Amino acid sequence: MVHFSTCGSPFGIIQIGCEDGYVVSIRCAGTDASEAASPFSELVKGQLQEYFCGKRSIFDFPINPKGTPFQLAVWHELRQIPYGETRTYGEIAVAIGKPKASRAVGMACNRNPLWIVIPCHRVVGSNQCLTGYAGGLSLKRALLELEQQS
């Protein structure tokens, strides 16, 4: 069973889903998000707060995103993008051995259940312009700017 807790951020309330000692989802939450804090969720919240303050660039809590084999391959590759850097959808497609799948990479990014931790905000269009982000382009821009300032 997934247990949810919430965390404040500069971008609003974040809902954290934990199951069996793994984080399975991180997403924007409504103002009515429920709270079920645990020592594990407190660890996750602490690391997220450090990230938002520019004091953390890597998360070390265990994650277990649910997705197709293709999505999991994309999400694994996204985690290889260094903090403060970007890659294009095409570069991710090549890196996972599917050079013609840049649009499918974009769809996998859109289905990312662990935004920030699986940094789909670091993926840009082939012309280096910001394109699509489930949280909106203003959030994508803000996350990239946060990482550039650190």
C-beta separation of 72 from 104 below 8 A: no
The identity of residue 122, as a single letter, is: R
Q: Respond yes or no: is residue 109 known to be catalytic.
A: no
- For residue 16, what are the β-bridge partners? 5, 26
- For residue 19, what are the β-bridge partners? 22
Q: Which entry of 7, 18, 120, 129 is annotated as an active-site residue?
A: 120
> How many angstroms separate the CA atoms of 38 and 23, rounded?
12
Q: Catalytic site residues? A: 120
